[in-house]
């Protein structure tokens, strides 16, 4: 709030308190009828709004305009103000004026902080723009190298992006000449029909060509398949046995009174051609869960809903979620 606004507000407040008791009731009622913006205009400019019809308030405002132009003796005014008795009827308007004063102070503070924040954002945007331009110039600096003829060759990516059409044609010719060179140092082996699960192994070896001995090591990439294979040779020895692969399912939402033998008997009746095994996994006051194993060659039949009890929930058994971290589990398949 400015000095002029403080001066006007203090003048109105003190004048109401020092007015005669007969005029205080009329002034208080007329001021309470005013809207918030009209009261603010009255404080700032001493202009009477159009909605005011009271002659006492108009006369009172004109007195304030005259007294505002004359110098005020603060000491005498303070002495007279301290000796007055407050009237009960003017307390509402005084509280309203104090509230408006606090709101004006808050608005001025918010305006100051908003202007300061706007200036900080403008400075930050300018700084980020300068940093972006500097980073762009640093990344796009052309890297140069000298060949045997001591001629400068620009970086291929820079030439492809910013070079002219003639430079791009020359770059294509240089790449074709390098690809057709049989004495290139970098040898890369490509294989077809590579499965999805592959592991790449890179190693350096000394080149065996006599012409390439002075050119250092060459990088060879080796790929090998990590996919498991299933044997097909028939076993002649009867003592040599193979354990079939087993799959595991998590059976839940079973009643607490049901046991693992009851579940196993139900599954044998539902699918007699599948060799099930059942193990109780968890039990509480309401439900129990079971770990059910089955041969992997029956996996196409195992997800048939007609095999399992109605309302039961069957899903793949998650070993990582059902075992603790410090427990090591070994499953032989």
3-state secondary structure 302-323: HCCCCCCCCCCEEEECCHHHHC
CATH topology for 246-322? Alpha-Beta Plaits (3.30.70)
User: What pLDDT is recorded for position 115?
Assistant: 84
Q: Rounded to whole angstroms, how far apart are CA atoms 314 and 292?
A: 10
Q: How far is CA 275 from CA 31, 238, 265, 270, 280, in A?
A: 95, 22, 11, 11, 17
* Choice between 74 and 283, residue whose per-residue pLDDT is larger: 283
Residues found in the chain: 333
User: Three-class SS of residue 220?
Assistant: strand
CA of 323: how far to CAs of 12, 294, 320, in Å?
80, 20, 6
Q: What is the mean pLDDT of the chain?
A: 67
DSSP 90-132: THHHHHHHHHHHHHHHHHHHHHHHHHHHHHHHHHHHHHHHHHH
* Range of weakest confidence among 149-153, 218-222, 253-257: 149-153
> Which pLDDT score, from 0 to 100, does residue 134 have?
79
Antiparallel, parallel or unpaired: β 313-316 and 246-255: antiparallel
Query: Is residue 34 within 8 Å of residue 10, measured between CB atoms?
Result: no
Could you tell me the pTM of the whole model?
0.29
- Does the pLDDT of residue 250 top 60, yes or no? yes
Summarised one tens digit per residue, pLDDT across range 177-210 is 544 544 444 444 444 444 555 454 555 445 455 4
With CA atoms as reference, report the closest residue to 295 among 233, 249, 241: 249
Q: What residue spans in the chain does CATH classification 3.30.70.330 cover?
A: 246-322
**With 60 as the cut, is the pLDDT of residue 40 above it?**
yes
């Amino acid at each position: 709030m400015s000095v002029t606004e403080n001066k006007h507000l203090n003048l109105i407040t003190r004048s109401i308190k020092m007015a005669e008791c007969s005029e205080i009731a009329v002034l208080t009622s007329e001021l309470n009828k005013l809207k918030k913006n009209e009261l603010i205009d009255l404080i700032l400019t001493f202009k009477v709004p159009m909605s005011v019809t009271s002659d006492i308030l108009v006369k009172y405002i004109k007195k304030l305009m005259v007294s505002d132009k004359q110098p005020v003796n603060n000491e005498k005014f303070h002495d007279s103000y301290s000796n007055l008795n407050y009237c009960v009827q003017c307390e509402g308007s005084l509280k309203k004026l104090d509230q408006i004063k606090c709101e004006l102070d808050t608005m001025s503070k918010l305006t100051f902080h908003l202007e300061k924040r706007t200036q900080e954002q403008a400075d930050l945007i300018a700084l980020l723009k300068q940093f972006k331009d500097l980073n762009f110039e640093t990344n796009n600096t052309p890297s140069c190298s000298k060949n045997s003829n001591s001629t400068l060759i620009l970086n291929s990516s820079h030439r492809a992006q910013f070079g002219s059409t003639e430079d791009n044609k020359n770059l294509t010719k240089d790449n074709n000449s390098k690809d057709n060179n049989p004495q290139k140092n970098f040898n890369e082996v490509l294989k077809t029909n590579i499965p999805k699960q592959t592991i790449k192994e890179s190693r350096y070896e000394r080149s065996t060509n006599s012409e390439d001995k002075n050119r250092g090591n060459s990088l060879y990439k080796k790929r090998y398949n990590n996919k498991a294979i299933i044997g097909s040779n028939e076993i002649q020895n009867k003592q040599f046995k193979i354990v079939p692969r087993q799959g595991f399912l998590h059976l839940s939402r079973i009643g607490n009174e049901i046991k693992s033998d009851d579940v196993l008997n139900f599954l044998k009746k539902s699918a007699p051609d599948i060799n099930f095994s059942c193990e109780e996994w968890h039990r509480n006051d309401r439900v129990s869960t079971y770990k059910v194993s089955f041969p992997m060659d029956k996996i196409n039949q195992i997800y048939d809903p007609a095999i399992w009890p109605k309302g039961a929930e069957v899903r793949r058994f998650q070993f990582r979620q059902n075992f603790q971290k410090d427990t090591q589990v070994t499953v032989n398949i």
